[in-house]
Structures are given as C-alpha cells and as structure tokens.
Amino acid sequence: MRTPSAGVLVLLAGAGLLLCALIGEVTATGTASGDVPLEVTARVLMIGLPIGVGLYAWSQPSSARFGRNLTLTGFVYFLAMLSSSSNEVVHGIGRLAGWAVEVWITYLVLSFPSGRLPGRPDRLIVAGGVAVVAFLYVPTVLFVDAFPTPSQWASCVTECPANPFQVTSSEPAFVEAWVRPGRELITIALFVAATLRLAMRMSESSRLVRLAIGPVVVASAARLVILVLALGVRAIDRDGTPAAVLAWLVALFVPVITLAFLAGLLRWRLFVGASLARLAHRTDLHTSWAALRSGLADAFRDPGLQIVEGQVGAGPGRAVTEVREGERPIAAIVHDEALRDERAFVDAATAHARTVLENQRLTERTAELVREIEDSRARIAATADEERRRLERDLHDGAQQRLVALRMRLGLAAELLTRDHARGAELVRQLGPEAEAALEEMRSLARGVYPAPLADHGIAEALRSAARRSPLPVVVVGERGRRYPESIESTAYFCALEALQNAAKHAGGATRVTVTISELDGRLRLEVHDDGTGFDPARAVRGAGLTNLDDRARAAGGDAVVESRPGAGTRMVVTLPLGGQGRQHPRP
C-alpha cells in the first residue's frame, strides 16, 4: 500500500488534536468521576495515541495498511468516548460505538503488523465478533432501560443517562436473564480464541514475525485476563468499586496495546536497519547467486531464503519477490512472509540480484570476447602461414627459377668467352632482359607484401592504383596526400582490397564501386559501396573474406560492419582509431 503524502499526515494529525480537545471538553463537563484531570488525560490518550502511532506506521511502506487502520481506530475511539457525555443521545451513540470498538480491537490485534488477517481462523474470529455485536448487542438497545454499567467507555455507574433508543415501555426479562450473560460468555470466548490464535502464531511463526508481535501478544493476553475479571465482577456486583476499577483497567489497556503496537514496529525498524548494515558489510554478494542468497539469508535472519531463476510459487509462511528486467521476470526470491511489504528488503534484494545478473552477463561476454580473440589470432596465424607458403611458392616457381636459369646461362657465357669472345659477349648481352624480368618479378612480390604506392603516396593513391586493376569500375574518394600511421594505412588498404575482391566475386549486376576515405571523431572511416543486387546479412553465410576483413579491423582496434539488403547493393564500413594521429602532413 502506498504511504500518504506529508500534507495528508499533517492534516490527519491536526484532526486528531482537535478530537482530543473535543473529548477533553466532553469528559470534563459530563463525567461523574471524582478525578476529572485523570479521566481527561486517560480519554485523550485513548484517542491521541492510536492516531499518533497509526500515522507513524502509515508513513512506513511495510506497515502502511496497518497504520491506516490504526489511525482510523483513533477516530472510532472518539465515538466511543462520547459515552462520557451527560446527554442521553450522545451517551447512547458512544455506547453503541463502544461495542463496535471491541471487535475492531480484535481485528487490529490479529492483523498486526501487515494490516491483513493472515489466515482463515483469524477471519472466523473477527466475523464471529461482528455477528455477536450485530445480533446480540445492537438489537438490545430497542428494549433495555439503560446500558450495562460499569463500562470501560463511560465514567458513570449509578447515574448514567437513560437509553434514548428504547422503543418498549419496559425492559423484557429475557434480556437480563439470557441475552446479556450469553453474549458476554460468547465475547469472552472470542477474546480467548483471539489470544490463543496469537499464541499459536508466536509458536508457529518465524523469528521475524515473533519479533514484531511479541509485545502485542503480551498486552492482549493481559487485557483478556482483566476483561474476564471485569465481566465476572460486574455480573456479581456491578455497583461495587472493584467492578469500576476493572472497567477502568480494561479501558486503559487500549493505549497499552497501542504502545505494544509501537514497540513491535520499532523493534522491526531496528531489525531492518541492522540487517541492511550487515548486508552492506558483505563483499561477496555480487559474485554469484549462491553468495547473494547466503548474504540475504544471513543479514535478514531468514535461513530458508531461496533465489530461483524464473517463476516459482510460495509455500506456507513464505512470499515471493520477483526480480524483473523491464516486463520480463528474471529471478524470484522466496523469503519470509514478514518481509513481503518491507520496501528496504525488496529494494536491496532486487538491486543486488540485478547486479549479480549483470555481472554474469559481463563475465559471459568477456569469455565470449576472449574466445573471439583466440579464434581471430588462430585465423590470423593461419592466414600468415598460408601467405608465407604462397610467397615461398611464388619465389620457387617464379623468381627463383629465373635466377637459377640466369646463373646457369652466366656460367655458359663465361666458358664461351674463353673460346669465342664475340659469341660470349653476345650471350652476356642477351642475359640483360632475363635479369630485368627477374627484378620485375621480385618487385611484384614486394608490392604484394606492402605496395610501393601505399608507402610513397598514402592510402588514397594506393587504392586508385589498385582500382585500375579491378574488373569493376572503381571510384576512390579521398584527400590526396593525406597520411596516417603506417599500421592504420596498411589495415585500411588491405581491408579495401578484400572488399573490392568480394564485390568483384559476389556483387552480381554491379556496375560501379565507390571507395570513400574520411575522418570522423578521431577515427578513419573507410566505406566501400557497390550497386549490386545485395543480399540478406541475416541469412548469408559469412565467408573467409569477410572474416579476414573483420579480423584485420579488430586487430587494429577498429570494427567492420556489412550493410546490405536485396536490390539495394552492399556497403562495407570499416572504422579504425587514429589515436590523435589522424592529421599528419604529407610525407615527402
């Protein structure tokens, strides 16, 4: 239940003070007691204490429902206190309200501290009290000459105002002979049942429930004993002093029970504060669900507390608090029912549970990233090995063969020079083109490792040079002469080559490829866009080309994104961090 605003609490407190002043005036002018200040003080406390304690309880989320009921009790007590008036009608209204108050007190005692009747026996006891008042007390006002005395709600004993609601000329004999004794016995039985019910709850409940209701059980049991004595003595000698004294004691136990409510609430608040302090000293709460369960169970003295992922039902004496992420339940905390409305527990438990879940996600994401890095390293190593083997093959099958042949022909030329100088010189001259071919092949291999245009003129010119060898028309948009760190230029260049190769192989129907090089927020942005048929990235199988491209970008601290849809071409965007080195002067 929501707590009221500060303005509402102040307004109710002001109304309570006004009622205290009114009842003080009514008591002072209408009482037959010989000690007016003492009676006025007692009557004011019987109204003021329930309202004050009720407003305090109402301001706490865990006891807001009970606090509302207890605040209402103070206003109901005001009606019962009208029994002190000497006016017949006002006195009669007060006596009728006094009968209803006894049932209300029983309800308060059984519903403490949540404001709800916890079980079927409690509801039966309260329903029995309502029935007794409705059928055995209220109807008698139509027949009796005067209300029973002495009463805990009135100070008069022998000179009380007459019953203004009587409709008969005289009181029927059966009322005094049967109705009054019968209803008083039933009333005693109901109070005994309520007290026994509280005692059973004390024995069956958890330590948390006993912490709150202990003072209330003691106060209720004491009031029951005094009430039984008061009814018994009144039946024997209702005009005697013992009957009046016991009636006063029954009345005074109304503020006593209210103070017991306050004691239970304060004990609960102290317990919650100490529990939160214990929870704050735990350093392992966010490591796992088991650690969180142990921490909450220890801090809130609830050894049966459980944390279950998903949804679960609650057993007897247990309640379930769901931990949600948006509208989706992600976990359930099964705990003592007494903690159900405790906002501090619910907030702390759910906050820690969300942190544990987030830590688990971070751990899983970190493990996934580590696996990706390991896989990427393995692919890069495999690619490097394959490239090394390719270079070995190219050297063996190309330049090496040319050089071996050149060396053999040089040997022949040397021998020929000794026999026929002219023919030997001609053979040596013929070896020049062979040497030039071997040199060009070595240069071609070197360009495959790190192209000369990239080293000499930068990425834009290097890509323009590569574009001239592409089977598709390629337009390169980039600032001429702009230089970047060597590792960034190399990564961007080979990513662009990979994207151009993919476009040539897979961009069916493409007529144009645009390569754009730019800077944005300290990052180099490389965009390769073709106007081919496109594809659905969600359904496409990621090939080795895209995987290698992504690995290159990630190795440089960047990322690569493929954007495509059927009929709209494909866009490959690679972003690489420049680290504050993006704007450099052109190299000579």
pLDDT tens digits, 52-97: 999 998 888 888 888 999 999 888 888 888 887 888 888 888 888 8
Query: Residue 349's pLDDT is what?
Result: 84
Do strands 474-477 and 513-520 pair parallel, antiparallel, or not at all (unpaired)? parallel
Query: Residue 83's pLDDT is what?
Result: 82
For 528, the enclosing helix (H) or strand (E) is strand 523-530
Q: Is 50 exceeded by the pLDDT of residue 587?
A: no
Q: Is 70 exceeded by the pLDDT of residue 145?
A: yes
Residue at 264: amino acid letter: G
Once rounded to an integer, what is the mean pLDDT over residues 271-283? Answer: 86
For 376-412, the pLDDT digits (tens) are 776 776 666 566 666 665 565 556 656 666 777 777 7
H helices present in 140-240, as ranges: 173-174, 180-204, 207-236
Query: Residue 28's pLDDT is what?
Result: 78
Do strands 570-577 and 523-530 pair parallel, antiparallel, or not at all (unpaired)? antiparallel
- pLDDT bin (cut points 50, 70, 90) of residue 443 is low
What is residue 477's three-state secondary structure? Answer: strand
Residue at 32: amino acid letter: A
Tokens 């002979």 found at: 177
- pLDDT bin (cut points 50, 70, 90) of residue 51 is very high
The CA-based dihedral angle spanning residues 58, 63, 66, 67, taken in that order and rounded to the nearest 10 degrees: -20
Once rounded to an integer, what is the mean pLDDT over residues 307-332? Answer: 77
For 155-190, the pLDDT digits (tens) are 676 778 888 888 888 888 888 888 888 888 888 888
Residues 445-452: contacts with CB under 8 Å, at least 24 apart: 445/391, 445/394, 445/395, 445/398, 445/399, 448/391, 449/391, 450/490, 451/493
Report yes or no: 213 and 202 within 8 Å, Cβ to Cβ.
yes
What is the rounded CA–CA span in Å between residue 147 and residue 136? Answer: 13
Closest CA to 342 of 102, 61, 539, 101: 61
For 508-530, the pLDDT digits (tens) are 777 888 999 988 888 889 899 88
Q: Is 70 exceeded by the pLDDT of residue 446?
A: no
- pLDDT bin (cut points 50, 70, 90) of residue 31 is low
Of 114-118, 182-186, 544-548, give the lowest mean pLDDT range.
544-548
What is the rounded CA–CA span in Å between residue 327 and residue 555? Answer: 39
Q: Is 50 exceeded by the pLDDT of residue 581?
A: no
What is the rounded CA–CA span in Å between residue 571 and residue 256? Answer: 80
Q: Which residue has the higher pLDDT, 124 or 363?
A: 124
Backbone CA torsion sign across 19, 23, 29, 35: negative
Q: Is 60 exceeded by the pLDDT of residue 448?
A: no
Query: Residue 588's pLDDT is what?
Result: 40
- pLDDT bin (cut points 50, 70, 90) of residue 124 is very high
Q: Which residue has the higher pLDDT, 329 or 47?
A: 47
Mean pLDDT of the chain: 80
What is residue 542's three-state secondary structure? Answer: coil
What is the rounded CA–CA span in Å between residue 353 and residue 339? Answer: 16
Cis peptide preceding 113, ω within 30 of 0: yes
Query: Residue 584's pLDDT is what?
Result: 46
What is the rounded CA–CA span in Å between residue 333 and residue 107? Answer: 30
pTM equals: 0.60
Q: Is 50 exceeded by the pLDDT of residue 32?
A: yes
Burial (Cβ within 10 Å: 0-12, 13-18, ≥19) of residue 183: middle
